[in-house]
Chains A and B, each alone.
Chain A
Amino acid sequence: MSIDRAAGVSPAPERRNGGPSARRWIFVVPVLVFAAVAAGFYAGLGLNPTILPSALIDEEAPKFDLPPLPGQERGFASADLKGHVSLVNTFASWCGPCRLEHPVLNALASAKRVPIYGINYKDAPDAAKKWLDGLGNPYTRIGADDGRVGIDWGVYGVPETFVIDKAGRIRYKHVGPLTQADMDRKILPLLAQLEK
């Protein structure tokens, strides 16, 4: 047993199950599957999940009318967005990162800077209510979404936060939890600019 193992490529492959060609084909499957996955990755590199699809930016927010969470009187509809600058935030009680950003939203809400609207995304209404009761409710209005409105908004994952201008157009989209730094450096300057 030494280097001559190198020459040990057996010249006659064993052919047991199925025909020789059937057996050979199976071994090509992994490389084909991988090629497809790699091609998908390559195409995916051109996309940036943290940027709003260009189709939606500066467009009017999609039309919707969402029902309220239990115990609340009003839901959230696209008509609510007209006439003022606002934030629309998607959240869910099952979403870990949402917990991280929640204090940031609470802080903004207590500063009474702009209304924050919530889209409660694919959530159990009771769980969402319990969540808000416990962590505080920074939202002016909340609509419960089974996922359909989220698709119109291009929601990729929760949390996502949209900045809406006075005309009801989407001007900015933040993907992932908002940190205080994001708020101070991006969101607040943009709000000030849009309010002019």
Chain B
Amino acid sequence: MIAEIGHFGLVLALCVAVLQATLPLAGAARGDAALVALARPAAVAQFLFIATAFSALMYAYAISDFSLANVAANSNSAKPLIYKLSGVWSNHEGSMVLWVFMLGLFGAAVAVFGRNLPPGLRARVLAVQAMIGVGFLLFILFTSNPFLRLVPAPPDGNGLNPILQDRGLAFHPPCLYLGYVGFSISFCFAVAALIEGRVDPAWARWVRPWTLAAWVALTIGIAMGSWWAYYTLGWGGWWYWDPVENASFMPWLVGTALLHSAIVVEKREALKTWTILLAIVTFSLSLIGTFLVRSGVLTSVHAFAVDPARGVFILFLLTAYTGGAFLLFAIRAPSLAGGGLFAPISREGGLLLNNLLLATAAATVLLGTLYPLFLDVVSGEKVSVGPPFFNLTFIPIMLPLLVAMAVGPMLPWKRGDLWAALGRLKLAMALAGAAMLLTLVLAGVHSIGAACALAIAAWLFVATVVEFCERVRLFSAPFSGVFRRAVRLPRAAWGMSFAHAGMAVTVAGIAGSTAWTTESIVDARPGQSFPIAGYTVALDAVNEVKRSDHTATRADMRLLKDGVLVTEMHPEKRFYAVENGAATDVAIRTNLIADLYAVVGDPDGKGGYTLRLYHNPLVPWIWLGAAAMAFGGLVSLTDRRHRVGAPSRRRREAMAEAVQAAE
């Protein structure tokens, strides 16, 4: 019964979405305020109906209702509740419901929080968003319905792939989808602007918080995914340039460019058509990602079950939305007033360079991802494009970006002085040089690549800190004033400092982990000890442990430094009988500078076990930096100029500020 309510919820959501996609658009075109006003309640209603369906599916998973084919195929009654629930989005059908749930959530958020938007623009944004909703709801109902019944119901389900049974991964898809789907709002704003034929600083200010929110979610989602790969796959790697990883990374790159170009539109009324284009491209790359994962055109460890009918349907949706938006762009963009030329050495010049490099980097990743497919189409030849290609092309594009990232914030708008900016970066230069020398001395001359990368990271980090200190005039003004200026500093400036510093930390983490990971693979018997990177790992015992849904081979290890116990470690190898699959539970000891990483492998049949021990320097920084970037985005989101409250409240605040300033 609950499942039928869920199914019905999807049908009702579709009906509302059809109305929402048409009437407000017509209303905005004809100046009919009543039809325009329809957009908001419709968006909220659409969300509530989808939320009903999503809740019904969650409920079916929670109570293990195996009369639903989808639950039977992807869950099992012996699972802990959290993995029953995360099973909802572990499969194609359920994850599509999550997808439209996020879409509805963002639509409702625009309806509720977008009170300061002009009604016409808001109506168009919500109507375009409903068009996307219509397409994907139809897709679910006709090709991927998770509410189909199974008669007779099996006594128990097939279970969930063991390597997906993980706390981190339970939240990875929702974050990722929040990001992917969040970019639909930027897309809708861009299409609405093209329909209106108008892009102005206010438009850029309205679109920015939504882009930022999606970007934050996508940053967290990608970081969680790579962290999951690091501690689950059991060999210390954290990025594979897999087509599906690339599918999430490309929208991130272009979305990052979009965040920066929107600033130029807001401050200088330039780069308008470029920003519109980026908004369309960002969401289109999200859609391409959806297509690649679900159509089976590329092989990937992440791909869902292949069904050609679904592939054709998603390709149709992709063509309708992206093709339609680009067509509209071709017709309307030439009539958008251009911002004219500006000096290359200026804040906007720096942001343009950022955009060009990020777009090139994204294009490179797109090329590497699609090349095997297109070559197959054109010549029938099959090739694979692996990490060597991406390392050779992507990194050389990112390095100048990171170097320039330190300089950009130092440049004023309109006309900057590069030498003056570099003069303020003397400290950064000195410390970057010091980082390079120190690395070469400590790690040897063969670490030249890592030394350069660490120098760039230090350069960016110090420059970001210097820029922040100059803004609040730390060291150059009395401290009380520094505190006041820090509090008054726009949150966006705080956010930028966090995000840029976080990027520097991530780069250092990538450099360190790539250059200095040490690996030791040993055949170990209980009672033996092994040295690694100045530590000693003692294997005390290996036991079989039975749990509700799996049996584990659990190693008891002690990590010693100079004979003193640092910590106990318990890596496990788990076997899941229902799913007939294994998963590795890695033991990681981190001191936030380096990880000690231990994996227990298969028995050798003679009382020994394969142990793999890794010392991964700086690896934790990859995710610490990503967390700082996401935190910076969140801080920036609270900036006064994005605050999405009613205009009257904004005016009151402005008034209070003026009074304060006068005092």
Of B78-86, B318-326, B482-490, B506-514, which binds chain A? B318-326
The answer to whether A50 and B196 touch across the interface, beta carbons within 8 angstroms, is no
Closest to B387 in A: A94
The answer to whether B296 and A3 touch across the interface, beta carbons within 8 angstroms, is no
The answer to whether B580 and A9 touch across the interface, beta carbons within 8 angstroms, is no
Query: Complex Cα distance A96/B226, Å?
Result: 13
Of A25-33, A65-73, A112-120, A162-170, which binds chain B? A25-33
Query: Complex Cα distance A106/B612, Å?
Result: 16
Of A76-84, A175-183, A186-194, which binds chain B? A175-183
Interface members, chain B 225-268 (any A CB < 8 Å):
229, 233-235, 237, 240, 242
- A99 in contact (CB, < 8 A): yes
The answer to whether A103 and B370 touch across the interface, beta carbons within 8 angstroms, is no
- B337 in contact (CB, < 8 A): yes
The answer to whether B373 and A40 touch across the interface, beta carbons within 8 angstroms, is yes
Main secondary structure of the interface of A (DSSP, over half): helix
Of B139-147, B347-355, B377-385, B420-428, which binds chain A? B377-385
Interface members, chain A 1-40 (any B CB < 8 Å):
1-6, 8-10, 13-14, 16-17, 23-24, 27-28, 30-31, 34-35, 37-38, 40
Chain B residues lying within 8 Å of A184, measured Cβ to Cβ, are 580
Of the candidates A4, A8, A177, the one whose C-beta lies within 8 Å of that of B31 is A4
- B449 in contact (CB, < 8 A): no
Q: How many A residues are at the interface, by size bracket?
A: 35 or more
The answer to whether B382 and A30 touch across the interface, beta carbons within 8 angstroms, is no
Query: Complex Cα distance A45/B327, Å?
Result: 24
Residues of chain B at interface, number, CB under 8 A:
80
The answer to whether A122 and B296 touch across the interface, beta carbons within 8 angstroms, is no
Residues of A within 8 A of B (CB): 1-6, 8-10, 13-14, 16-17, 23-24, 27-28, 30-31, 34-35, 37-38, 40-45, 47-50, 53, 92, 94-97, 99-100, 103, 106, 110, 122, 133-136, 151, 154-158, 175-177, 179-181, 184
Residues of B within 8 A of A (CB): 27-29, 31, 33, 36, 118-121, 123, 196-198, 202, 229, 233-235, 237, 240, 242, 273, 277, 280-281, 284, 291, 295-299, 301, 306, 308, 311-312, 315, 318-319, 322-323, 326-327, 329-330, 332-338, 340-341, 370, 372-374, 376-377, 380-384, 386-388, 519, 521, 580-582, 601-602, 605, 610, 612
Sample of 15 more A-B contacts, CB < 8 Å, known A5-B118, A34-B323, A45-B312: A3-B31, A5-B198, A17-B341, A30-B330, A38-B322, A47-B297, A49-B297, A50-B296, A99-B233, A100-B301, A103-B602, A122-B386, A135-B610, A156-B372, A180-B582
- 6 residue pairs from A and B, CB less than 8 Å apart: A1-B118, A23-B334, A27-B333, A31-B323, A53-B380, A179-B581
